[in-house]
Amino acid sequence: METKYTTCVFCDGGCRVKAEVDGDRLRVLPADPAFPAICPKAGMVDAYRLHPDRVTVPLKNVGERGEPQWQEMSWDQALDEIAARLRAVADAYGPEAVAFAEMPLNMGFGGITRRLMNCLGTPNYTAPVALCMGNTAQVHRAVYGWFAGADWERTDCIVYFGQDRDRERWPGEYLALNAALERGAVLIEVDPRETATAKRAHYHLRIRYGTDAALALGWINVVIGEGLYDRAFVEGSCTGFDELAARAAEYPPERVAALCGIDAELVRETARVYARAQAAIIPWGVVGDMQRNSTSLLQAQCILRALCGFVNKSESVCGPALGGVGNAELAAFELLPSEKRALQLGRGAHPLLTFAASDLYRQANEREGVPYEPDLLAESCACDPASLFAAMRGEGPYPVKAFFSVANNTVMSYANQQGIVDALMNQDLVVAFEHWLTPTAQLADYVLPDDMWAERDVLGSPFDVGPAFSTGQAFRRPAGQCKSWYYVVKGLADRLGFAERFPWANEHELYDWRLAPLGLTWEDACARAPEPLLRELAAPGRFVTPSGKVELASSVLAELGFDPLPSYEEPSDPGCEAAPEGAYPYVAFAGFRERKSYNTNLHQMPELRAQEPEPRFFVNPADAAAEGIGEGAWCVVETAYGQVELLSHLDEAQPEGTLRVPHGWWKPETAPGVAAGLSGACLHNDGMLFPDADWNLDPAQGVPNLRGGIHARVRAK
């Protein structure tokens, strides 16, 4: 029997697993006995690998775009053709006409795609991570100079903004939460829904969707007004306190309570509980990433941690790591000429995620002796998706005509889904690197089959925020002709004339190169598994910001032309405002996660699908009664911008006047192609309801408001 260690990526829970392999027999177990919460999905490796729908041979569409007729071909021929078409686009329009969207989390490590792009000369990259922690990372960077991670082991007070964890949704954190609550920690949950986690909270703030930034500003008001802040830390380590105090004065608890729809006394009391804790944490959670006021909310959270003295106590700013080649160094950003960086889409309108922001840290990097790192949380140095898709549709400022979708179901993973379909339809070349014929792959010219996590040796991390590399060891052979992303990148690089930048014959040689500065080889790393390989912190405890301090008023935001301080703006909804009064009486929010699927993936798996067969939306029973909707009825949920069809689920936990719409639903068993609605994606996915017009984006980052709510109506079908 063989034992191998790796990380399960059937979701982003990041569970380390141990595989015991005995011929065909396979057991997937927790790698760490202290973390026994491996969910049943991890055991489905062979069912997933050998699923009859899995793409295991390179495919070319010999039909029309969007109405595919697939022809199998060899890898060599596919790579020859793709390289030639890529070159043709770059020659005709410039290399910036080639764009990539990638989910590095699904691949195990980042940086290699950017290396190819930097060789080619295109800055146009986007990642769904930009909607999920990538933008948090850029705001943390503006305030602290790097990402701050919560110390769960010591905490005595947890503030959750909409996190709802359980054994199948971030089980590691769920166990840490359980342990903290058992130790007597206080939980403050901010969530309009009465979730299972909210029921365990000592304080549950059922705010109005999307008003989180106002609440956080109210807390800052109380902390400053009642003198609850850590004067020594503020005076010694922060800039901008006076400006902050003036801004916070605009958010007294009574005003905040009215904005959020809660009691002012609750705002005061929870601010005091947080500020007086010994080791409070505000862990990352996704609802802060996708609101109209995201930057302000994330900034206000950063400010609270600093004001109350938790930074580098219970919230560690670990700073960049040295030793071993990190993702940014692998990406070789120095190869991308400045005139090409200047062309990065979205750089003018929504610069916080782009080179325009990361370049503002250059002096701080030099001061602290740390490498230039544009891509703090792998792939957060990105175009905002709206700007990229607009350019792909031909709306300027220049054409983008070739598109690679790498482990990203692009069509379904942003706002304005119809606009993304149009963007892909307008390309000269679309390539999808996938496991399935997803709605995105259905619009491709070529679908290239990837290996999956159990089939690949991988040296991580997907993100550069932490100081460790982790190893993942393959324990199954790739199905059919599936290949690694490095194989594809190298194949294209060789054909495009960048061979000397990719001197490693295979990923093992690449990993040896990445590990050499640590005095290790890939084999050594495997021998040490399951231990992570720690890298050295370059500036531990220091703030790699322009001022070298925690910036309560951000000089980076100011430099980019934005308000340096957080604020709360009421989102607009022009479509609803133009409609007759009362036309959209509900507020819908998107993205709620089911247990048996992962974002857009896993709907193919029969055992999982049997448990979650149809896309459901949640509605309060009183609202359902008013609309004449019973349990389990097909309904149409509609905004002023689009509609989806979903099954009703009557749920007391859902506040009256609100609708919860799921993310990621398509039905792989139904007809493919644009005319048929891309296997249900255009009928069911949340991206149909939310526009990506500027008024629905966070201004600094251009990330869509998918969590803060939009006006909607509902009717039985």
Ligand X SMILES: Nc1nc2c(c(=O)[nH]1)N[C@H]1C(S)=C(S)[C@@H](COP(=O)(O)OP(=O)(O)OC[C@H]3O[C@@H](n4cnc5c(=O)[nH]c(N)nc54)[C@H](O)[C@@H]3O)O[C@H]1N2
For the annotated catalytic residues, the residue numbers are 12
711 binds, among Mo ion, ligand SF4, ligand X, none (CB under 5 to 8 A by kind): none
- For ligand X, the binding residue among 55, 99, 103, 493 (CB under 6 A) is 103
- For ligand X, the binding residue among 6, 61, 106, 484 (CB under 6 A) is 106
Q: Considering beta carbons, is residue 41 or 347 the nearer one to ligand SF4?
A: 41
Q: Considering beta carbons, is residue 237 or 440 the nearer one to ligand X?
A: 440
131 binds, among Mo ion, ligand X, ligand SF4, none (CB under 5 to 8 A by kind): ligand X
Q: Considering beta carbons, is residue 132 or 537 the nearer one to Mo ion?
A: 132
Tokens read off for 712: 């909607």
Q: Considering beta carbons, is residue 193 or 393 the nearer one to Mo ion?
A: 193
- Kind and range of the H or E element at 611? helix 606-611
In DSSP notation, 462-478 reads S-SSSSEE-EE---SPP
- For ligand SF4, the binding residue among 4, 5, 6, 11 (CB under 6 A) is 11
Show Cβ contacts of residue 53 under 8 Å, excluding neighbours closer than 6 positions: 436, 437, 604, 668
Contact 438, 428 (CB under 8 A): no
- For ligand X, the binding residue among 140, 347, 663, 667 (CB under 6 A) is 663
Tokens read off for 113: 């795609």
- Kind and range of the H or E element at 196? helix 196-200
Give the 3-state secondary structure of residue 2. strand
Is residue 419 within the footprint of ligand X (CB under 6 A)?
Answer: no
Contact 213, 568 (CB under 8 A): yes
Q: Considering beta carbons, is residue 395 or 651 the nearer one to ligand X?
A: 651
End-to-end CA distance of the chain: 55
522 binds, among ligand SF4, ligand X, Mo ion, none (CB under 5 to 8 A by kind): none
Contact 468, 485 (CB under 8 A): no
Is residue 379 within the footprint of ligand X (CB under 6 A)?
Answer: no
Contact 129, 104 (CB under 8 A): yes
Q: Considering beta carbons, is residue 132 or 493 the nearer one to Mo ion?
A: 132
- For ligand X, the binding residue among 595, 657, 673, 693 (CB under 6 A) is 595
Show Cβ contacts of residue 630 under 8 Å, excluding neighbours closer than 6 positions: 624, 648, 650
Is residue 132 within the footprint of ligand SF4 (CB under 6 A)?
Answer: no
Tell me how far, at minimum, the Cβ of 405 lies from ligand SF4, in Å: 22
- For ligand X, the binding residue among 131, 214, 388, 518 (CB under 6 A) is 131
Residue found by looking up tokens 């989102």 in the block: 571
- For ligand SF4, the binding residue among 96, 102, 164, 168 (CB under 6 A) is 168
60 binds, among ligand SF4, Mo ion, ligand X, none (CB under 5 to 8 A by kind): none
Binding site for Mo ion (CB under 5 A): 132
Is residue 409 within the footprint of ligand X (CB under 6 A)?
Answer: yes
DSSP for residue 674: T
- For ligand X, the binding residue among 171, 283, 285, 324 (CB under 6 A) is 285
- As beta bridge partners, residue 150 has 315
123 binds, among ligand SF4, ligand X, Mo ion, none (CB under 5 to 8 A by kind): none
* 550-551 vs 186-190, strand pairing mode: unpaired
Q: Considering beta carbons, is residue 18 or 495 the nearer one to ligand SF4?
A: 18
Is residue 473 within the footprint of ligand X (CB under 6 A)?
Answer: no
- Kind and range of the H or E element at 406? strand 402-406
Q: Is 395 exposed, middle or buried (0-12, 13-18, 19+ CB in 10 A)?
A: middle
Distance, CA of 576 to CA of 128 (rounded, Å): 27
- For ligand SF4, the binding residue among 6, 8, 384, 566 (CB under 6 A) is 8
User: Which span (9-17, 326-334, 387-395, 641-649) binds ligand SF4, by CB under 6 A?
Assistant: 9-17
Is residue 100 within the footprint of ligand X (CB under 6 A)?
Answer: no
Show Cβ contacts of residue 119 under 8 Å, excluding neighbours closer than 6 positions: 332, 335, 493, 496, 498, 501
Is residue 414 within the footprint of ligand X (CB under 6 A)?
Answer: yes
309 binds, among Mo ion, ligand SF4, ligand X, none (CB under 5 to 8 A by kind): none
Is residue 602 within the footprint of ligand SF4 (CB under 6 A)?
Answer: no
Q: Considering beta carbons, is residue 39 or 459 the nearer one to ligand SF4?
A: 39
Is residue 41 within the footprint of ligand SF4 (CB under 6 A)?
Answer: yes
- What x-and-dash track marks residues 21-40 binding ligand SF4 by CB under 6 A? -----------------xx-
Tell me how far, at minimum, the Cβ of 298 lies from Mo ion, in Å: 15
Distance, CA of 670 to CA of 680 (rounded, Å): 7
CB atoms inside a 10 Å sphere around CB 24: 6
In DSSP notation, 133-173 reads THHHHHHHHHHHSS-EEE-TTT-SEEEEES---BTTBSHHH
Tokens read off for 597: 């699927």
CA dist list (Å): 315 to 124, 151, 158, 357, 535: 33, 6, 11, 24, 19
Q: Considering beta carbons, is residue 175 or 676 the nearer one to ligand SF4?
A: 175
Is residue 44 within the footprint of ligand SF4 (CB under 6 A)?
Answer: no
- For ligand X, the binding residue among 5, 6, 11, 204 (CB under 6 A) is 11
User: How many residues at the interface with ligand SF4, by CB under 6 A?
Assistant: 12
- Kind and range of the H or E element at 716? strand 710-716
Residue 561 phi, psi (nearest 5)? 95, 15
CB atoms inside a 10 Å sphere around CB 644: 27
Is residue 171 within the footprint of ligand SF4 (CB under 6 A)?
Answer: yes
Is residue 42 within the footprint of ligand SF4 (CB under 6 A)?
Answer: yes
Is residue 403 within the footprint of ligand X (CB under 6 A)?
Answer: no
Is residue 436 within the footprint of ligand X (CB under 6 A)?
Answer: yes
Give the 3-state secondary structure of residue 696. helix
201 binds, among ligand X, ligand SF4, Mo ion, none (CB under 5 to 8 A by kind): none
Residue found by looking up tokens 């206000």 in the block: 300
Scan residues 184-203 and list those touching ligand X (CB under 6 A): 190-193, 195
Scan residues 321-360 and list those touching ligand X (CB under 6 A): none
Q: Considering beta carbons, is residue 7 or 122 the nearer one to ligand SF4?
A: 7
Q: Considering beta carbons, is residue 89 or 159 the nearer one to ligand X?
A: 159
CA dist list (Å): 293 to 116, 218, 298, 379: 34, 15, 9, 22
Residue type, 410: T
Tokens read off for 477: 């052979």
Show Cβ contacts of residue 258 under 8 Å, excluding neighbours closer than 6 positions: none
* Contact positions vs ligand X (CB under 6 A): 11-12, 103, 106, 128, 131-132, 161-164, 168-170, 190-193, 195, 207, 209-210, 212, 285-287, 291, 407-409, 413-415, 433-436, 438, 450, 452-453, 589-595, 597-601, 663-664, 686-687, 706-708
* Contact positions vs ligand SF4 (CB under 6 A): 8, 10-11, 13-15, 38-39, 41-42, 168, 171
